[in-house]
Structure 1
Amino acid sequence: MRIAMVAGEASGDLLASHLMRALRVHLPDVQFFGIGGPRMEAEGFDSWWSAERLAVNGIVDVLFRYRELLGIRNGLVKRLRAEPPDLFIGIDAPDFNLGLEEKLRKSGIPTAHYVSPTIWAWRGKRVFKIKRAADCVLCLFPFEPVLFEKHGVRAHFVGHPLADEFPLKPDREAARELLGIPKAPKVVALLPGSRNGEVSRLADDFVATARILHERHPELRFVVPLVTRATRHLFEEAIRRADAQELPIRILFGHSREAMTAADAVLVASGTATLEAALLKRPMVIAYRLASLSYHIIKRLAYLPYVGLPNILGREFLVPEFIQDAVNPAAMADAIEKWLNDRTACEALAERFDAIHHELRQDNAARAAEALLPLLRRR
């Protein structure tokens, strides 16, 4: 069997690497190729282009790089039509993958889309494009398949890989010991994002929030896990701009999970990190800013009153959100302080997060592989 894949960004690379391993249980000699990242390559993936070439943030970024992305997609279509795989799997990156899947499916190549586009949040009409593009959709969240089935699209809930990976009961003491954090002081983790644009738009407000909290609670400590030298530099510049070198802020290279596990509360940019914080049963406050044009386009097309994954999964505002112009250090400091002072509310929130964790814990990779086997058996 020959399976083509396209994964964009680190999250898609991780999902695809786990899926490759699970498929090999059923197909030991299967070959994988297309566009992937280092985790996929470590599993034997033949990467024709790097996944980094597909990494974009927001509509404006897509517009600036449209010609480059279109050239990659056209080149991939031509090559896959010349040497048809037994299955094509697009992992996330819907703006790139759905058009690619539609072209390949018209050529007789079975296609699957792994990670449902957020038709429940905005751009719901994409369901019609998905229907043309994919023979089946693999969904990470339990409420998604019914939305597709209404339109005659085969969809399977396969659970979320992070729910399998994260322990049901996180060990705060072990995380603090690993990071060298004393047991006594309360800790707030600051996660301003993984991309340069995210950090540049939020760093000043996160530093200002930390300053307000420290003025009210001098014993507080702050940890800031950042994944690249560039994002670390951006956050350090924000500290210098605020003349806040006296704040007890410790910047970490990576270790975001340990930082959140060790924390009493988390201030976090909207994205996958909010789901990680929920799986770690941590009270949080969510903040986010987009480029102005991207935000106004998305706002006009949005269906839900919330953007954070914990609130979407809970179908209510389980945790506060501060989005775009609502990002305000004083208000965010107040929201963090409420979590720090209300143990009963934190325990009730942890119970809700525990229920979400159990619902998403489905042995994701194995279920995804089993959902794809019928498409391969046809070949």
Structure 2
Amino acid sequence: MAGQSATSPLSLALVAGEPSGDMLAARLLSGLRPHLPGARFHGIGGEQMMAQGFESHWPMDKLTVRGVLEVIPRYREIKGIQNQLRDQLLAERPAAFIGADYPGFNLGLEEQLKAAGIPTIHYIGPQIWAWRGGRIKKIIRAVSHMLVVFPFEEEIYRKAGVPVSYVGHPLAELIPLATDEAGARRTLGLPEQANVVTIMPGSRMSEIKYNTVAFISAARLLKQRDHSLRFVVPMAGARQRQYFLELVAQAGLQDVELTLLDGQSHTAIAAADAVLVASGTASLEVALFKKPMVIAYKMMALEWQILRHFGYQPWIGLPNILAREFLVPELLQDAANPQALAEAMWQQLTDAPHRLRLAQRFSDMHHSLLRNSAQESAAAVLKVIQA
């Protein structure tokens, strides 16, 4: 096997830079463990990876940033970590390096490792089909094998000459095909007949900063239309919860009755009649739970002016991208104002034929993404390191 001596245990290096990558890599590790029981898995990862016996040399949150403008003040620190890890891996020469998403960090590291003869695997193809298509040139230099989670991506990478495997989307396995809405409401202490709106402003601090006031202001307007509505807000952690509450108080929105949850995002989605969700992986989770939604996103004005010109297609929400049409509304930046959000959410709550159509489309989507991703991704990695 590449990069291993006859006496040293097999070593695989991995890096995840945020919770979604931690989940992906943990699934991969669960598939690899039975085949490589004595292997050492190490690098940078989160709690889910460490639960699989992974050794993280730095806390994952050292890398967790969002957007160009958030990276700039921390660039030297993050670049320093990348360089230290690169030097360690060049000295050690693991059997392979696996980058779990986080392309800004991982592709640069992969390019240097691949040039030194270390096989590199990237898990989740960067969305070159959505924006920054020129990145394919760097991917060709950096990646020995790409693992993709959407079926249409295989052809894109194959045409570019990048070895690729479609392994299914882990969320399609984690989320049941049938949603137990009544059970989720019992778990959260909500009446089974309640009208429930779940609000998901994002897990990153910057997302909470820009989305919270508009999202909760929309909830206040919805409550004025229907006093029976219940609002559930899952929080990714204690820091996010505290910041969210500070923003709500500063905006004078304390009168909006909210049920805040520590985690439990899937239970909150399952319990909902409709979901107001920040664009990102969470919108795919909502689709897999077969729930109507409004996708919204706000960011720093300067960053919006930069990014709004880079898109290749009219959709930003994953459910709409997969469907190749606007199945659900997308409201971005200035369009994501309280009045527009409330009106769009009201339509999702009250249009019964639309809700039935969505449930069927999302069910088809779920089946198309369903594979045993742990086994499929592990099999692809084993082929690379055994080559």
Q: Which position in structure 2 is the counterpart of 1:246?
A: 255
- Decide which of 185, 188, 191 is 2:194's aligned counterpart: 185
Kindly indicate whether residue 357 of structure 2 is the aligned counterpart of residue 341 of structure 1.
Answer: no
Deviation string for 1:25-82 (max 9, x for gaps)?
Answer: 2222221111111222222112122221111111111222111111111111111111
2:315 aligned counterpart, secondary structure: coil
Q: Which structure 2 residues correspond to residues 36-51 of structure 1 after superposition, within 5 A?
A: 36-51=45-60
Following the alignment from structure 1 to structure 2, what is the Cα–Cα distance between the partners of residues 36 and 242? 36
Q: Which position in structure 1 is the counterpart of 2:330?
A: 321
- Decide which of 231, 246, 256 is 1:237's aligned counterpart: 246
Following the alignment from structure 2 to structure 1, what is the Cα–Cα distance between the partners of residues 250 and 95? 55
Following the alignment from structure 1 to structure 2, what is the Cα–Cα distance between the partners of residues 238 and 62? 23
Q: Which position in structure 2 is the counterpart of 1:156?
A: 165
Following the alignment from structure 1 to structure 2, what is the Cα–Cα distance between the partners of residues 290 and 147? 30
Q: CA deviation at 1:177?
A: 0.4
Counterpart of 1:335, as a letter, is: A
Counterpart of 2:92, as a letter, is: E
Q: Which structure 2 residues correspond to residues 353-368 of structure 1 after superposition, within 5 A?
A: 353-368=362-377
- Decide which of 279, 282, 299 is 1:290's aligned counterpart: 299
Gaps of 5+ in 1: none
Q: Which position in structure 2 is the counterpart of 1:377?
A: 386
- Decide which of 147, 165, 175 is 2:184's aligned counterpart: 175
Root-mean-square deviation (CA, aligned residues, Å) is 1.2
Counterpart of 2:191, as a letter, is: P
Query: Which moved further from structure 2: 238-247 or 296-305?
Result: 238-247
Query: Which moved further from structure 2: 132-141 or 30-39?
Result: 30-39
Q: Which position in structure 2 is the counterpart of 1:275?
A: 284
Following the alignment from structure 1 to structure 2, what is the Cα–Cα distance between the partners of residues 205 and 270? 14
TM-score, normalised on structure 1? Answer: 0.97
Following the alignment from structure 2 to structure 1, what is the Cα–Cα distance between the partners of residues 111 and 255? 55
Query: Which moved further from structure 2: 258-267 or 248-257?
Result: 248-257
Q: CA deviation at 1:212?
A: 0.8
Counterpart of 1:82, as a letter, is: A
Following the alignment from structure 1 to structure 2, what is the Cα–Cα distance between the partners of residues 261 and 138? 29
1:277 aligned counterpart, secondary structure: helix
Q: Which structure 2 residues correspond to residues 181-220 of structure 1 after superposition, within 5 A?
A: 181-220=190-229
Q: Which position in structure 1 is the counterpart of 2:92?
A: 83
Q: Which position in structure 2 is the counterpart of 1:26?
A: 35
Query: Which moved further from structure 2: 102-111 or 22-31?
Result: 22-31
Give the conservation status (yes or no) of the 8 Å contact 1:207–1:242: no
Q: Which position in structure 2 is the counterpart of 1:98?
A: 107
Kindly indicate whether residue 129 of structure 2 is the aligned counterpart of residue 120 of structure 1.
Answer: yes
CA 72–242 in structure 1, closer or farther in 2 if over 3 Å, else same? closer
Query: Which moved further from structure 2: 123-132 or 40-49?
Result: 40-49
Counterpart of 1:263, as a letter, is: A
Give the conservation status (yes or no) of the 8 Å contact 1:264–1:283: yes
Following the alignment from structure 1 to structure 2, what is the Cα–Cα distance between the partners of residues 72 and 237? 32
Kindly indicate whether residue 175 of structure 2 is the aligned counterpart of residue 166 of structure 1.
Answer: yes
1:125 aligned counterpart, secondary structure: helix
Query: Which moved further from structure 2: 358-367 or 46-55?
Result: 46-55
Give the conservation status (yes or no) of the 8 Å contact 1:207–1:238: no
Give the conservation status (yes or no) of the 8 Å contact 1:101–1:133: yes
Q: CA deviation at 1:297?
A: 2.1
Q: CA deviation at 1:111?
A: 0.8
Q: Which position in structure 1 is the counterpart of 2:266?
A: 257
Count of residues in Structure 1 that have an aligned counterpart in Structure 2 = 378
Q: CA deviation at 1:242?
A: 4.3
Following the alignment from structure 2 to structure 1, what is the Cα–Cα distance between the partners of residues 204 and 14? 24
Q: CA deviation at 1:231?
A: 2.2
Query: Which moved further from structure 2: 164-173 or 28-37?
Result: 28-37
2:94 aligned counterpart, secondary structure: coil
Q: Which position in structure 1 is the counterpart of 2:3?
A: none
Following the alignment from structure 1 to structure 2, what is the Cα–Cα distance between the partners of residues 3 and 239? 44
Counterpart of 1:323, as a letter, is: L
Kindly indicate whether residue 22 of structure 2 is the aligned counterpart of residue 13 of structure 1.
Answer: yes
TM-score, normalised on structure 2? Answer: 0.95
